[in-house]
């Protein structure tokens, strides 16, 4: 084959391969999308806890800043969720976007009311909590659908640790709602689980994760650090009616979640 003919053949092959390569690289990685969606869920949950803390701590501006930071985190992750693997996930992604916009407006209105009036009516707060629950349910549905349509499953230990982060966040939000005297019944309505039950579940699942045979020495040490911090607030969570310590629980729950998320990223990197 002449050099000229070889050049023509190579250029033709390149012309065919480049669009295919571009399409492959453009397609969203389901693992990345699922991580972003998980982080979105954590931040969306946290916006409600931040609001309860802002309410309960009499307008402490640090919690107003936390609300804004959590809102910004959700928007960042939501905007990064672009290429869905199928029609079902695309439809759910669109619904999530619409629901989030409405929730964000309601949260900002209530936050502004607290800043200007120093109080809010109970019903709008109950409605906000209900919308937060809807967001969590819809985002869970999308999380499942992405896995179905992409034929990808989050590795077991990665998933279990992510669920543990979400459970810790749910406990923190529940505790903050009680401390703000807005009523725990707002957290999930009549079907809401007692906080004692959530605390027991968290402790049990963390113990199982700590004992996981696949843990490296570093991961065992990381779980031990999380466990130590958990024990520091566990009794306060169970005895929430005796001595309310919302600042302490809020601070340590954030640290615990950060620790679990670091462990989860290590699981994901090792495909565990």
**Would you say residue 152 has pLDDT above 50?**
yes
Domain spans in the chain, listed from the N-terminal domain onward = 29-154, 155-272
Residue tagged 């109950």 (tokens): 126
Answer whether 171's CB lies under 8 Å from 177's CB: no
- Of residues 257 and 191, more confidently modeled: 257
**Would you say residue 190 has pLDDT above 90?**
no
Mean pLDDT, residues 2-19 taken together = 51
Mean of pLDDT over the chain: 89
Taking alpha carbons only, the member of 130, 121, 100 closest to residue 191 is 130
Answer whether 195's CB lies under 8 Å from 171's CB: yes
Least confident of 58-67, 143-152, 199-208: 58-67
pTM exceeds cut of 0.85: yes
SS in 3 state form for 103-155?
HHHHHHHHHHHHHHHCCCCHHHHHHHHHHHHHHHHHHHHHHHHHHHHHCCCCC
pLDDT for position 119: 83
**Would you say residue 174 has pLDDT above 70?**
yes
Q: CATH number of the domain at 29-154, please?
A: 1.20.1440.210
Question: 239 CB contacts (<8 Å, ≥6 apart)?
Answer: none
């Amino acid at each position: 084959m002449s050099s000229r003919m070889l050049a023509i053949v190579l250029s033709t092959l390149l012309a065919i391969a480049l669009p295919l390569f571009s399409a492959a690289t453009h397609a969203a990685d389901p693992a990345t999308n699922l991580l972003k969606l998980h982080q979105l869920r954590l931040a969306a949950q946290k916006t409600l806890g931040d609001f309860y803390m802002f309410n309960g701590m009499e307008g402490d501006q640090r919690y107003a800043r936390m609300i804004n930071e959590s809102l910004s985190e959700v928007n960042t992750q939501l905007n990064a969720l672009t290429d869905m693997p199928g029609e079902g996930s695309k439809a759910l992604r669109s619904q999530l976007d619409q629901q989030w916009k409405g929730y964000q407006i309601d949260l900002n209105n209530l936050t502004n009311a607290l800043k200007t009036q120093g109080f809010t009516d109970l019903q709008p707060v109950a409605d906000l909590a209900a919308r937060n629950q809807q967001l969590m349910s819809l985002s869970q549905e999308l999380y499942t659908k992405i896995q179905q349509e992409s034929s990808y499953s989050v590795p077991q230990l990665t998933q279990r640790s992510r669920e543990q982060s979400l459970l810790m966040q749910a406990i923190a939000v529940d505790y903050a709602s009680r401390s703000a005297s807005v009523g725990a019944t707002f957290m999930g309505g009549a079907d809401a689980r007692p906080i004692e039950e959530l605390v027991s579940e968290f402790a049990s699942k963390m113990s199982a994760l700590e004992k996981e045979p696949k843990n490296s020495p570093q991961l065992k040490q990381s779980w031990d650090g999380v466990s130590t911090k958990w024990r520091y607030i566990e009794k306060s969570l169970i005895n929430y009616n005796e001595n309310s310590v919302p600042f302490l629980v809020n601070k340590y729950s954030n640290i615990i979640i950060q620790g679990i998320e670091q462990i989860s990223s290590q699981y994901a990197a090792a495909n565990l």
